[in-house]
Structures are given as C-alpha cells and as structure tokens.
Structure 1
Amino acid sequence: MFFLISLHFCRKGKSRNGATMCDLVLLGLVALSFTNPPVATKKEWKGHGSSKNLKEIMIGRCFDYLENVNPSAGVKDCIKIWEEFLKVFNGKDPCNIKEQDYNIFLRLVEHDIPVSQSIFWSQTREITSEFSEITASYMPLESTLTGYLVDGLNWCGSGSINGPNYVSCPSWNDCENNAVRSFWRSASKMYASKAQGVVTVMLNGSSTANAFRDTSIFAEIEVGNLDKAKVALVRLWIIDNLMGPDIESCGSGSVGKLELILTEKGIEYVCEDNHRPVQILLCVTKADSPTCKLDLAP
C-alpha cells in the first residue's frame, strides 16, 4: 500500500522548492530503510538461531560475575564487552568468523586464573563442572568470565541483516569458521596458555570414541598451548562411567598417546584411573551401583 501511494505522489508536479514530490517520497523510503533494518525470516542453517535476549543475558551475566561470582576478576566495562562481542559477527557471513576476530573481546574479559586451578575436560563436562563447583578448587574455562558470559548460548549474524540472527545459525559442523566454534577455539587457546602450576585433565575412560579424541578442542587446541615453563605437572584422571564399560586406562590406547605427547613437550605428568573423590560424587545420584558400595572391612 505504501508503495502504491509513493507512485501516486511521484506523478504529481514539483514542490515549492523545486524538488519533485517523488524525490521527497523516495527520500522518506531511504530513511525508513535505515531506521527499520531488515530481520531474518527464513531458516538458512541447521542450527538454532541466536539465543533470545542475547544482549541482555550477556550484560546481566557480566555484572553478576564481577559482583558476585568472581570479584577478583577486576573492573570491566560490561557494555563495552557486549559491543565488541557483537562486532565480531554483526552483518557478517556466519561461516566466515575467524578465531582472531575475537581477540579484542578476549582481551576485555581476560583475568588471571589461580595457580593450579586450571582443569581441562573431554566428554566429562558435567562431572567436571560439578566437581569444580563443589570443591571450589578448580576454575574450568566455563567458570572464567570468558566462558561464563556465553556458556549454553548460541549466536551468529548474517550478511543481510543487522544484529543477531534469531532464526537460524550454522550448527557446530555446518562450517568450520562459524561464530560459536571459532569463539570456543580462540577462548580455549587463551585459557590453556594461562595455565600454571598443577594442571588437571579429566577424560572419559568409557568412551567408545577414545578418551583422548584427535578432533576434540582439548586435543586440537589446549594440549598444544600448554606452556611447559608455567606448568609443573599435568594430572590425568581417567574416569569410567559408574556402570562401565572400562575401555581405556592410564598407559594404554589414546591415553597412552596423550602421555607420549606430554613427554615430547617436556611436561611431567601423573595418571590415575577413577580418581576416588570424583567417583564418590558420581555415586551421589547412583548409590546402588556396585562401584559405590563402601568397603567397611577393618
């Protein structure tokens, strides 16, 4: 309807200042195109769209982290952090976001990780998170400001819209350089490079896809970025599921490959199968498992 009215006015004569009415109408249309940017309406990718209220969630998490979760992270500008994060993918091809595109954002959220509190995981995310929270002795990537801001969220942009694409985003494997994948790779690289003292690694000994997978972020990114000048010892915990199976253990299979990599890097390590405190935590929800029976013999 608005387009038809425009054509009607374009047929009229000149205005008082000499400009045609068509000129004025077209100028108004251009102005509207800037004040009301297009939004995505078509699902282009397999993955979910950006998390709803992404901006508000991230800014809220930022203030919460700095005020309540970890005040020792220092003074940060939460608004600036969001703005730099948005710049990474806003108006861009969602499959062309490089790891280095996050450099400015990562510098804004960077803070120290306490000595001997770095912990890495692969296929053990849930138990690693629970163990770290309960013991208050570890700070996984997801517990740093970097990870805390976006943990569990999804995001991407589009070359044809302004702001996050809330309709669809590339899934993890849709393309290598998607916004989320590049973020976690870049963040993991920085996290690993800051590790110092005793470093802990928790792997799944019941995994049919190898405890130490070549395609995992831990294998591809984090191991290679451990600094032997900072790391005194790597402590490997190979944790089986309570009901098994026991597929891999220290010194064998892919775990043996990891041990060899650490040796070649000149980093000392120790390895332990089924670290008992972790097993006890697993038993909280599965106390009837044979593994959880207490040995009360004197």
Structure 2
Amino acid sequence: MSSKKALPISGTLTVMVIVVVLVPSALLDPTAEFEAAFLKKCVEFPEDKNTCKATLAIFEEAYVGKKKTAVTEDSYNKLFDKTPFKHPCGETMLYSGIDRVKTTDVVHRFTKKTGSYFTLEDTLLGHVLDGLIWCGKEGSKETFTEHCTDTMPNPYISFWIMASVKVAQYACGHVTVMLDGEREQPYYDKSVFATHEVPNLQSPEVKNLVVILVVGQKDDTKCNKESLKNLSNILKGKKIGYACKEVTLAHIEECIKEGKGVCW
C-alpha cells in the first residue's frame, strides 16, 4: 500500500513524496493469495480462459468449510466431471518411483519440449495445482495453505489420488510410463502408480503399457527385474499388453535438446 505526503519547500514549491509500506507476506490473506495463484496459472494454460473462475468455485466446493479429514477422493468428483481431460488419450504418460531431482524434472521437460506425451501436470488441473497446498476448516469460508497435510486423509492428497485415478481411466491405446531403472524396485507395489493407476487402466481401451526404464547405462538387463515381471503379470491378468525399453538418461536429455518427439 502507499500514502502520499506533501512537503512544502521555500513556501511555494511542493514535492510529492510517496511512502511505500511493505506488507509482510505473513499478513497477506491466504485465501486471496491462493485464489490469485490458481487463476494466474489457469489463465496461462492454453484452454478456455473464460472458465477459470467457475473452475475455481467448483474446486473450492470440495474442501472449503470442511475439516481436513472429511475431504476424500470422491469430494473432487464434480471437479473432474466439469473439467475433463482434453489431451489425446493415447498420448498419456504416467511416471512413478522416480528421484525428484534426477528424473521427474526430466519427464516434464520432455513432455513440454516435445509435445508428444502428456503427464498429469500437463493437464489443466494438474498444471494449476502443481506446487500449491490447500485446505479448509469446518465452519470457515477461507482457504488455508499451512498445516494442510498433517492428517490423513487431507484435501491435498485426496486430490492427487483422484487425479491419478482419473488420468488412468482416461488413458487409451498405447500408454507409456516412465520408471527409474536404477531403483531396486522400479515398479513399487505401494506407489500411487501401483495402487491407483494400474488398477484403473481400462481394457480393451488400453491396448498395452510401455515401460520406459530410465537407466544410467544401457545394458538390456534391468527390464528383467522382479518387480517389472510382477507388473507384466498384473497387466496380463487385465488383458493389457506389456513392453519394457531401457533408455539412458543421456539419450532422453538429447531428445529434449533436439525437441524429438520420438525418442525410443
């Protein structure tokens, strides 16, 4: 905020001095701050910008005025019904069990640069809510951004679980998943991918799942890991085909640099 003070000089000349008062971020209204961030990211996304305020209102219905543990995955059903995915379902890319610094960043840089695959964060809701934290409080109309994930369930976790379920249900054709081949269990049976995405891949809509196993050095052996055999068997039971390809991180980085949509 600012205030103006007039200072007389020599009795005739007046100089306007603007005094700027900086408001500590801790004193800002968290509801207004959250809504501004939501709308800014929504408007930046290349879809219908005229629906952003309506999308925010539907989103807030899921958690505002409710205690954290009362907000479950189903609380977001209306939001996903009103905000359907629009990317080609056959270009869905899942990812899991990946080192946040090393590979998750690579997944998103790859999809953004090449435009040939779409992760959850490349969809409208995923893009808008990535990096944000939110929750409500029973009897309050506010949105809070602190101490939101210290209980289970909570609005944040419930949203991302439902988003994972919905994107898996939406997928079709040849679905791709990027896994970290340097892990002992690239397919971890307690991950969101294992517990919420794989069970919701729909056959016959999904023909097969292609695992892109990110490795440091290609040796054609990491695709034989026991956890991946388990994944193959699960998919077989769902009548969904399975394939595994080892791709070095260096090769993916080269594809990003050159903007190659076909990388493997």
Which TM-score tier does this pair reach, normalised by the shorter chain? 0.7 to 0.9
> One-letter code of the match for 1:140?
T
Task: Deviation per CA, 1:85-108: give whole Å up to 9, x if none.
Answer: 112111211122111110111122
With over 3 angstroms needed to count, the CA separation of the structure-2 counterparts of 1:264 and 1:251, relative to structure 1, is farther
Question: Which residue does the alignment assign to 1:262?
Answer: 235
> One-letter code of the match for 1:178?
N
Q: Distance in 1 between matches of 2:146 and 2:177?
A: 37
Q: Distance in 2 between matches of 1:252 and 1:112?
A: 35
Q: Distance in 2 between matches of 1:115 and 1:100?
A: 22
With over 3 angstroms needed to count, the CA separation of the structure-2 counterparts of 1:51 and 1:130, relative to structure 1, is farther
> One-letter code of the match for 2:126?
G
Of 14, 17, 42, the residue aligned with 1:62 is: 42
Q: 1:236-251 to 2 correspondence within 5 Å?
A: 236-240=211-215, 242=216, 249-251=222-224
> One-letter code of the match for 1:170?
T
Question: Which residue does the alignment assign to 2:85?
Answer: 111
> One-letter code of the match for 2:84?
E
Q: Distance in 1 between matches of 2:141 and 2:73?
A: 21
Question: Which residue does the alignment assign to 2:132?
Answer: 153
Question: Which residue does the alignment assign to 1:194?
Answer: 170
Of 67, 76, 87, the residue aligned with 1:93 is: 67
Report how far residue 232 of structure 1 moved.
2.0
Q: Considering only aligned residues, what root-mean-square deviation do their CA atoms show, in Å?
A: 2.6
Q: TM-score, normalising length from structure 1? A: 0.68
With over 3 angstroms needed to count, the CA separation of the structure-2 counterparts of 1:243 and 1:213, relative to structure 1, is same
* Structure with larger Rg: 1
- The alignment status of 1:252 with 2:225, answered yes or no, reads yes
Q: Distance in 1 between matches of 2:204 and 2:59?
A: 32
Equivalent residue of 1:169, what SS?
coil
> One-letter code of the match for 1:239?
V
Report how far residue 153 of structure 1 moved.
0.7
Count of matched residue positions in the alignment of Structure 1 and Structure 2 = 222
Task: Deviation per CA, 1:114-147: give whole Å up to 9, x if none.
Answer: 1421000011422211111122100111101120
Question: Which residue does the alignment assign to 1:128?
Answer: 107
Question: Which residue does the alignment assign to 2:200?
Answer: 225
CA contact (8 A) 2:149 2:157 kept: no
Task: Deviation per CA, 1:20-46: give whole Å up to 9, x if none.
Answer: xxxxxxxxxxxxxxxxxxxxx9xxxxx
Q: 1:18-97 to 2 correspondence within 5 Å?
A: 53-65=33-45, 69=46, 71=47, 77-97=51-71
Q: 1:170-181 to 2 correspondence within 5 Å?
A: 170-171=149-150, 174-175=151-152, 177-181=153-157
Task: Deviation per CA, 1:124-180: give whole Å up to 9, x if none.
Answer: 422211111122100111101120110111111122533112442124xx41x1111
With over 3 angstroms needed to count, the CA separation of the structure-2 counterparts of 1:185 and 1:166, relative to structure 1, is closer
Of 174, 191, 197, the residue aligned with 1:216 is: 191
Equivalent residue of 1:234, what SS?
strand
Equivalent residue of 1:120, what SS?
strand
> One-letter code of the match for 1:120?
L
In structure 1, the gaps of 5 or more residues are: 1-40, 42-49, 286-298
- Greater strand share, structure number: 2
Q: Distance in 1 between matches of 2:32 and 2:149?
A: 16
Report how far residue 84 of structure 1 moved.
1.3
Question: Which residue does the alignment assign to 2:14?
Answer: none
Equivalent residue of 1:255, what SS?
helix
Q: Distance in 2 between matches of 1:76 and 1:263?
A: 44
Q: Distance in 2 between matches of 1:152 and 1:51?
A: 16
> One-letter code of the match for 1:222?
E
Moved over 3 A (4+): 281-285
